Amino acid sequence: MAKKPEIPHVVVSRLPIYLRALEHARQEGLTCISSQELGERLSISSAQIRKDLSMFGEYGKQGRGYPVDALIHALRQHLHVDRVWDVVLVGVGDLGHALARYKGFAERGFRIAMAFDKDPAKIGTTAGDLTVEDIRLLARRVQEAGIKIGMIATPAAAAQEVANLLVFAGVRAILNYAPIHLTVPNDVRVEYLDPVIPLQRMTYYL
Amino acid sequence: MAKKPEIPHVVVSRLPIYLRALEHARQEGLTCISSQELGERLSISSAQIRKDLSMFGEYGKQGRGYPVDALIHALRQHLHVDRVWDVVLVGVGDLGHALARYKGFAERGFRIAMAFDKDPAKIGTTAGDLTVEDIRLLARRVQEAGIKIGMIATPAAAAQEVANLLVFAGVRAILNYAPIHLTVPNDVRVEYLDPVIPLQRMTYYL
């Protein structure tokens, strides 16, 4: 796949935040937004925003701000969310159910396409619009569908084994809700959503 | 309150990750762990770990590694989770229910003590061990209890108003699940757990 010029990860990690803010601005009816206003909405300096967005070419016109629609379009392209990604969910407890029913994925580029659990009491039941499948079928189903993104919502004790299975099945990006660090090959990315980590980051300052 | 020496936020943000890994190591029966082993478990260089932990004084002995129990104790003290923090939850939809029922908070320093919603159909119902209360009572209840931490699990459209209410009630740390940036006073911290942001951070590389 042809690759874009190298952009530092710290910049990449801010792009979805810019995209989200721009989408809110569009909902409010804005067609242009200045780096100052975007910065105020995000508690990021306008200089930082101009520098980050300049890496993607010239979207902003001096004195007029960024055209909201065009910048949304460009960011979606760069983030590869100008399409919908199928996601496989593993672990259908309370959190898994909440994820399966969450309406906020579809409009932002994601769709939970399959849900798996190892608990026989859960297999065959419903989660959102999906039927929970037996985890023993995961590798084949995910490979056949070519799914590249997984969400782990299992207890910590099961998460590494699930991650291994996802990687074996071809998944290259894992969103991990389980409170444990995962060991994966270098070409697989993991992002973590253990709520206690950010809570402890804040209690340090309390 | 007497303040510790200034530690860079980037270091502070790694401390809960070290703490979690040490707690897993202790569960496995380890009493000592080297910076190398901790680093391998976390995909962080051992030099980084030694540098970060040296800011808290000398816990590691040359050649013997860190004493797991003592380091857990010290990190908990520094992160202020050598106690249990009461947390107020706002928004009791699917995610709010999952949070109210999540067993992983208590042993790591947190307890959801109250849950509020504005929906009359939800007020008075059960979420985990709690009874959902009317959001109009939030300010008084939170002030009286002296709660400093809030979790927002409402839709995006309601989140800023809820944040304002939490800040008014004395909350100084907010964990925000709603997919929107919050504007809060300088002395209030916010951490974000919108799952789409980390997903989009990964699709950039896919």
Q: Are B183 and B162 in contact (CB under 8 A)?
A: no
pLDDT for the residue numbered B104: 94
| pLDDT (0 to 100) of residue A108 | 96
For residue A5, what pLDDT is reported?
Answer: 62
Question: CA torsion sign, B140 to A42 to A22 to B206?
Answer: negative
Query: What's the CATH number where A171 sits?
Result: 3.40.50.720
Per-residue pLDDT of chain A (206 residues), as tens digits, is 445 568 899 999 999 999 999 999 999 999 999 999 999 999 999 999 999 998 876 666 667 789 999 999 999 999 999 999 999 999 999 999 999 999 999 999 999 999 999 999 999 999 999 999 999 999 999 999 999 999 999 999 999 999 999 999 999 999 999 999 999 999 999 999 999 999 999 999 99
If we measure between CA atoms, which residue out of A106, A126, A105, A103 comes closest to residue A115? Answer: A126
Q: Would you say A199 and B190 are in contact if contact means Cβ atoms under 8 Å apart?
A: no
Give the DSSP H or E segment for A37. helix A35-42
How does pLDDT run along chain B (206 residues), one tens digit per residue?
A: 445 568 899 999 999 999 999 999 999 999 999 999 999 999 999 999 999 998 876 666 667 789 999 999 999 999 999 999 999 999 999 999 999 999 999 999 999 999 999 999 999 999 999 999 999 999 999 999 999 999 999 999 999 999 999 999 999 999 999 999 999 999 999 999 999 999 999 999 99
Establish if B29 belongs to a structural domain.
Answer: yes
What pLDDT is stored for residue A116 in this prediction?
98
**B169 lies in which domain range?**
85-199
* Yes or no, beta carbons of B102 and A85 under 8 Å apart: no
**Neighbour count for residue A3 (Cβ, 10 Å):** 6
Picking from B26, B54, B79, the residue at the C-terminal end of a domain is B79
* Residues of A in Cβ contact (< 8 Å) with B197: 16-17, 20
Q: Is A113 on the interface with B (CB under 8 A)?
A: no
Contacts of B199 in chain A (CB under 8 A): 85, 87, 109-110, 149, 173, 175, 191
Helices A15-27 and A46-54: crossing angle, nearest 10°? Answer: 110
Residue A67 within any structural domain of the chain: yes
Q: What distance in Å separates the CA atoms of residue A18 and residue A37, rounded to the nearest whole number?
A: 12
At which of B79, B114, B138 does a domain end? Answer: B79
Residues in chain A: 206
Domain boundary among B44, B62, B79: B79
Number of folded domains in chain A? 2
A105 vs chain B: nearest CA distance in angstroms? 7
Answer whether residue B92 is part of any domain.
yes
* Nearest-angstrom CA–CA distance, A47 and A25: 19
Distance to chain A for B17, nearest Cα, Å: 7
pLDDT tens per residue, range A50-79: 999 988 766 666 677 899 999 999 999 999
Whether residues B38 and B54 fall in one domain: yes
